[in-house]
Amino acid sequence: MRYAAGVDVGSTQTKAVIVDEDQRIIARSLTDTGAYLVRAADRAFQSALDQAGLRRDEIGQVIGTGYGRFKVEFGDTQVTEIGCHAKGAWALIPATRTVIDIGGQDTKAIKVSDRGEVLDFAMNDKCAAGSGRFLTNSAEAVGLEVSEMGARSMDARQPVRLSTVCTIFVESDILSYLAQGKRVEDILAGVHSAIAARTVALVRRVGSESEITMTGGVSRNMGIVAALTEKLAMPVNVSPDSHFTGALGAAIFAMERVLAGPGAFAPEVLA
Amino acid sequence: MSAPTGIRYQGELHLLQKEIMAKYFAEATAIAQGNGRKAAHLLIAGNPVELLRAFDVLPIYPEVNVLQLAVRKGSLPFIQKAEELGYATDNCAYVKADIGLFHAGYKTPFATIPKPDILVCNYVGCNVYLNWFEHLAELTGAPAMNIDIPFIRTADGEPTADDVIYVVKQLEELIVLLENVTGRSLDWSAFTKIVERSARTGELWAEIKAMTQSRPAPYDAYFDSVTMMAPLYTLRGTEEGLRFFEVAHREMAERVKAGTGPLPEERFRIVIEGPPPWPRLRVFRDMFTRWGAVAVASTYSTVGGLWEFGFRHDPAHPLESIARHMLSYNVCNRTFLQRYEQMERYVDEWHADAVVIHSVKSCRLFSAGQGDMREHFVRDRDVPTLLIESDLEDPRYFSEAQLRNRIDAFFEALEQRRITAGRGAPVPA
């Protein structure tokens, strides 16, 4: 059996996935990225290897993805996370035609072909308003962990209306709602609604074709998934492995290369 | 392939351009030092430079000066100076850099810019520029004239007869103003000779632009066009300017014949819309080069004038032809639908694979509507189109990782589709 790996160095977290020839995930790992990208990539990869009980030399190809993809020093090549999320989402849920990924700094909507190829994509402009960092800052403002936000927001009764999706100004918006005695649940629902509205606008740009799959860590936030479902008026798929979609896509690209054999891909093909 | 490309883009033409631009800036400095010659400040879009040359007034383009600052990585302190004075952060960064430059005594590493003896604001759709020249008038005390150019409202993109008369009348007023400033009267035959050289220059430039229809394109119609654009604006109508374009024409024709392109291999042909990010031009270009992407056409190279679709200055009707140039034959005064049409022709006739839109953060006037433009090309024309954003002058808006990510993803997808379509791009050695 041959193996390949993908390492997704994101701005917040680093993920690694190892797949076998049948594109089955045999190991997955997750670590905070921190300031040292090379070490984070190494840590995530090593942890996945340990889980799989494999040595480095047993992995045929490694592809790096995410903002820190060029820091996956042991990687053979790099693919952007746009390509990897498309591929990974398609692998997890083959009917996927539209992918939504809310990353730490980027929100993306990707139109995917029936072969997992990127047909079109739209991302937030230069400003990171309404991205994953917006959630982190909002969580801090109400004194919660990001992982707690989703469940808490489901108890909202009267969601507040935020005046901004600015990652910086949202804090003062939230503080003023807290000062008015608004419930944390209602504030969180307001946060999720704002981020969903911003995301839906991006989805509309590439066309919201069924089926829609949400990928990345933020997909674990059920409040956002609910807000997106409502605003899109369409179901939004979330795979249990959605957090690892980018790394999985990279691993599948790597496996394609392993199976194709040496020289089948120009080094530039997936620069 | 993660390393920088290391490709040297410069050719013979770049050297000649450097030489004549250095001479031009030396002339500018000599005026600033008081040699008595007059200087006019004017804007690039649809510039009526022929009239200034007829009075031996040196055309000074504040946009050219500040982009030079940006290319030399020196724009930020001037921008910040203007912000200190109260200009908003989202105000046009060209304006801010120029206002900052004025307050720094117009001293740059490449020239001392002479204060204007006359300000010629050719208004083609940018009301911020209108305010810019009003500010300059207040700061410098120079007489200012705003040439009001009506926006094109006709379906075929041609100005109406009344539009032409309206602009010609204003050009006649400009002539009177220039006569007052310079103390000489217009030599009509010298003026028509200048217009004749402009016509010839336009002819050569149009032919040079048509050459990128060849495979490979002999030069990059975005990144290398800028080399030719400076002489096109500063020296159009002069002997020297005409000679430059004769050399350029010869060099490019030879490249077409030899099958030489700007890159070792042309893998993608693109059309680029929007001005370049001057503060990080080289880094930005490398982002395309590593994918073998060459611009075969660009709208930015038509800001000063659009010659490739047939417009020429006319020595028999010099003022009318200048009016037409200002009204219809520069991209800024055209409607958005005409901009689409222009780009569609580029895609079809220049055989492009994709469109890249570089949106400018501090220029909402030129950038507004580019989202719709992207959708038009993707949905209505099935042309893969990428929209990215930074700025033309302010280095703070250039986010390298973000841009690289989008550009890589875009070409990655194009490449992937090519492979799936079974017309795999050749594998480089």
- The neighbour count for residue B354, using CB atoms within 10 Å, is 20
Which residues, other chains included, contact A180 with Cβ-Cβ below 8 Å and sequence gap of 6+? none
Q: Is A107 exposed, middle or buried (0-12, 13-18, 19+ CB in 10 A)?
A: buried
Option in A125, A126, A268 nearest B1 (CB): A268
Q: How near does any CA of chain A get to the CA of B408, in Å?
A: 7
Do the chains contact at B405 and A78, CB–CB below 8 Å? no
Do A7 and A109 belong to one domain? no
Interface test with A, best of B360, B412, B418 (most A CBs within 10 A): B412
Do A206 and A118 belong to one domain? yes
Q: What is the pLDDT of residues B205-239, one digit of tens each?
A: 999 999 999 999 999 999 999 999 999 999 999 99
Chain B residues 131-170 with CB within 8 Å of chain A: none
Which residues, other chains included, contact B281 with Cβ-Cβ below 8 Å and sequence gap of 6+? B71, B223
Indicate whether A268 belongs to any domain: no
Q: How near does any CA of chain B get to the CA of A6, in Å?
A: 17
Chain B positions in Cβ-Cβ contact with residue A208 (cut-off 8 Å): none
Indicate whether A119 belongs to any domain: yes
Do A234 and A106 belong to one domain? yes
Option in B291, B379, B413 nearest A83 (CB): B413
Do the chains contact at A269 and B415, CB–CB below 8 Å? yes
Instruction: Please give the mean pLDDT across all residues of chain B.
Output: 93
CATH of the domain at A65: 3.30.420.40
pLDDT of residue B423: 47
d(CA B380, CA B10): 38
pLDDT of residue B13: 87
Angle between the N-to-C axes of helices B76-84 and B93-103, in degrees from 0 to 180, rounded to the nearest 10: 80
Interface test with A, best of B405, B407, B411 (most A CBs within 10 A): B405
Q: How near does any CA of chain A get to the CA of B412, in Å?
A: 6
Residue in chain B closest to A263 (alpha carbons) equals B427
CB A227 within 8 A of CB A198: no
Query: Tokens 């001057």 belong to which residue?
Result: B278
Indicate whether A187 belongs to any domain: yes
Band of residue B422 on the pLDDT scale cut at 50, 70, 90 = low
Do A192 and A146 belong to one domain? yes
Indicate whether A92 belongs to any domain: no
Band of residue A11 on the pLDDT scale cut at 50, 70, 90 = confident
Chain B positions in Cβ-Cβ contact with residue A106 (cut-off 8 Å): 402, 405
Q: What is the pLDDT of residues B359-378, one digit of tens each?
A: 998 888 888 899 999 999 99
d(CA A237, CA B158): 52
d(CA B357, CA A164): 27
Interface test with B, best of A65, A71, A123, A127 (most B CBs within 10 A): A123
Chain B positions in Cβ-Cβ contact with residue A269 (cut-off 8 Å): 415, 419, 425
pLDDT of residue B426: 44
d(CA B268, CA B414): 9
With a cut of 70, say whether residue A267 has pLDDT above it: no
Element (H, E) at A58: none
Do A47 and A72 belong to one domain? yes
Which residues, other chains included, contact B85 with Cβ-Cβ below 8 Å and sequence gap of 6+? B99, B103
Instruction: Please give the mean pLDDT across all residues of chain A.
Output: 92
Do A174 and A201 belong to one domain? yes
pLDDT of residue A165: 80
Indicate whether A178 belongs to any domain: yes
The percentage of chain A sitting over the pLDDT mark of 90, rounded to a whole number, equals: 80
With a cut of 70, say whether residue A265 has pLDDT above it: no
Higher-confidence residue: B144 or B10?
Answer: B144
CB A211 within 8 A of CB A235: yes
Higher-confidence residue: B358 or B426?
Answer: B358
Q: What is the pLDDT of residues B244-275, one digit of tens each?
A: 999 999 999 999 999 999 999 999 999 999 99
Do A124 and A73 belong to one domain? no
Q: What is the pLDDT of residues B103-141, one digit of tens each?
A: 999 999 999 999 999 999 988 778 899 999 999 999 999
Indicate whether A91 belongs to any domain: no
When computed from its CA atoms, the radius of gyration of chain A, rounded to whole angstroms, is: 19
With a cut of 90, say whether residue B324 has pLDDT above it: yes
Do A150 and A63 belong to one domain? no
Band of residue B5 on the pLDDT scale cut at 50, 70, 90 = low
Chain B positions in Cβ-Cβ contact with residue A125 (cut-off 8 Å): 359, 389
Q: What is the pLDDT of residues A66-102, one digit of tens each?
A: 989 999 999 999 999 999 999 999 999 999 999 999 9
Interface test with A, best of B357, B377, B402 (most A CBs within 10 A): B402
Do the chains contact at B405 and A70, CB–CB below 8 Å? no
Angle between the N-to-C axes of helices B62-71 and B93-103, in degrees from 0 to 180, rounded to the nearest 10: 90
With a cut of 80, say whether residue B398 has pLDDT above it: yes
pLDDT of residue B10: 66
pLDDT of residue B416: 84
Band of residue A132 on the pLDDT scale cut at 50, 70, 90 = confident
Q: How near does any CA of chain B get to the CA of A24, in Å?
A: 23
Q: How near does any CA of chain A get to the CA of B330, in Å?
A: 28
pLDDT of residue B373: 96
Indicate whether A152 belongs to any domain: yes
Range of the domain at A211: 98-238
Instruction: Provide the ipTM.
Output: 0.82
Do A189 and A134 belong to one domain? yes
Indicate whether A265 belongs to any domain: no
With a cut of 50, say whether residue B346 has pLDDT above it: yes
With a cut of 50, say whether residue A269 has pLDDT above it: no
Do A78 and A117 belong to one domain? no
Number of domains in chain A: 2
Do A81 and A33 belong to one domain? yes
Do A77 and A117 belong to one domain? no
Chain B positions in Cβ-Cβ contact with residue A83 (cut-off 8 Å): 409, 412-413, 416
pLDDT of residue A245: 97
Do the chains contact at B415 and A270, CB–CB below 8 Å? yes
pLDDT of residue B428: 37
Task: State whether residue A119 sits within 8 Å of chain B by CB.
Answer: yes
Q: What is the pLDDT of residues A173-208, one digit of tens each?
A: 999 999 999 999 999 999 999 999 999 999 999 988
Task: State whether residue A205 sits within 8 Å of chain B by CB.
Answer: yes
The percentage of chain B sitting over the pLDDT mark of 70, rounded to a whole number, equals: 96
